[in-house]
């Protein structure tokens, strides 16, 4: 393993260190798996990819079969000791690819503080966990209220997840709700979300719940048009999460010499 300064540590290194420091704490372990799912990973291959077809290098160990991934290209190169083919995939895609195959995941082996072997059972659990999503709102809401009693871990996780969803919705609001049948709960309302993006946004909210250690039923999800009365109600009482918006393309209009009276043309 290399000696790396704290400035060079990746988010995966930091999450792994927190998990190792508190092995009895479920929250730290969940945060590590969340970072793994969100990370871009470089998967070692036996040969160059052909289209979407890839052939991961498989390593047999006494603990089982593993493919190798690294969260930096240079870490992969350092492990291999020579140029090798690889595919850059998110952790969630790698987990989906391996689920049910009986193959584990070797992460940053021998080249980083986060070096770890993740058995096939844990990879399957991660894939299953990533499939969870909160229920979409079905009952009628009689009142929106400020959110109360939700743990800071969930708020932090939502903020981090939605910060990566730039351009998919105008904003999101977390509110307390009282339903028409008398029940109470919490709702994450997305405002101005693109229809095609709604499943991804609901899944991101579900992952924030799961990896915060919160029960899936603790929060519903709903989508509203930006000009709807409900959107105005959410803005009044809700905790707002800003989703980064893409910058408008800038159009540069060249100035014709002599067209600006304050800038007369130069005479040669």
Q: Give the domain range for residue 174.
A: 141-242
Shared-domain flag, residues 213 and 154: yes
CATH code of 199's domain: 3.30.300
Residue 115 confidence (pLDDT): 96
Shared-domain flag, residues 172 and 120: no
Shared-domain flag, residues 74 and 172: no
Last residue of a domain, one of 130, 153, 173: 130
Whether 6 shows a pLDDT value over 50: the answer reads no
Shared-domain flag, residues 118 and 190: no
The answer to whether the pTM exceeds 0.85 is: no
Whether 2 shows a pLDDT value over 70: the answer reads no
Residue 4 confidence (pLDDT): 47
Shared-domain flag, residues 151 and 118: no
pLDDT band at 44 (very low <50, low <70, confident <90, very high): very high
pLDDT digits (tens, 9 = 90+) for 97-144: 999 999 999 999 999 999 999 999 999 999 988 876 665 665 578 899
In a domain, 165, yes or no: yes
Shared-domain flag, residues 109 and 145: no
Shared-domain flag, residues 97 and 20: yes
Shared-domain flag, residues 108 and 219: no
Contacts from 113-121 at CB under 8 Å and sequence distance 24+? 113/1, 113/4, 113/9, 113/13, 113/16, 113/17, 114/10, 114/12, 114/13, 114/15, 114/16, 114/17, 114/71, 115/1, 116/16, 117/61, 117/63, 117/66, 118/36, 119/63, 119/64, 120/64, 120/65
Number of domains in the chain: 2
pLDDT band at 264 (very low <50, low <70, confident <90, very high): low
Task: Give the residue-averaged pLDDT of 217-244.
Answer: 89
Residue 151 confidence (pLDDT): 84
Shared-domain flag, residues 160 and 199: yes
């Amino acid at each position: 393993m290399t000696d790396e300064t704290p400035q060079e540590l990746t988010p995966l290194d930091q999450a792994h260190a927190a998990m190792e420091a508190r092995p009895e704490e479920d929250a730290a372990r969940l945060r590590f798996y969340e970072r793994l799912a969100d990370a871009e990973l470089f998967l070692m291959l036996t040969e160059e990819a052909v289209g979407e077809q890839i052939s991961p290098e498989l390593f047999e160990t006494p603990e089982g079969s593993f493919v190798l991934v690294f969260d930096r290209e240079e870490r992969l190169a350092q492990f291999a000791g020579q140029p090798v083919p690889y595919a850059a995939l998110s952790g969630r895609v790698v987990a989906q690819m391996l689920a049910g195959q009986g193959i584990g995941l070797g992460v940053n082996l021998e080249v980083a503080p986060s070096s770890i072997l993740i058995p096939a059972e844990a990879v399957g659990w991660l894939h299953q966990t990533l499939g969870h999503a909160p229920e979409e709102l079905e009952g009628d809401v009689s009142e929106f209220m400020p959110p109360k009693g939700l743990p800071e871990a969930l708020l932090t996780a939502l903020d981090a997840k939605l910060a990566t969803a730039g351009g998919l919705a105008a904003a999101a609001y977390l509110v307390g709700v009282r339903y028409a049948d008398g029940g109470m709960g919490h709702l994450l309302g997305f405002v101005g979300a693109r229809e095609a993006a709604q499943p991804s946004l609901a899944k991101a909210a579900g992952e924030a719940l799961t990896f915060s250690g919160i029960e899936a039923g603790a929060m519903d999800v709903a989508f509203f048009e930006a000009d709807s009365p409900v959107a105005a109600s959410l803005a009044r009482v809700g905790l707002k999460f800003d989703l980064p918006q893409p910058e408008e393309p800038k159009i540069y209009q060249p100035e014709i010499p002599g067209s600006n009276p304050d800038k007369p043309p130069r005479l040669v």
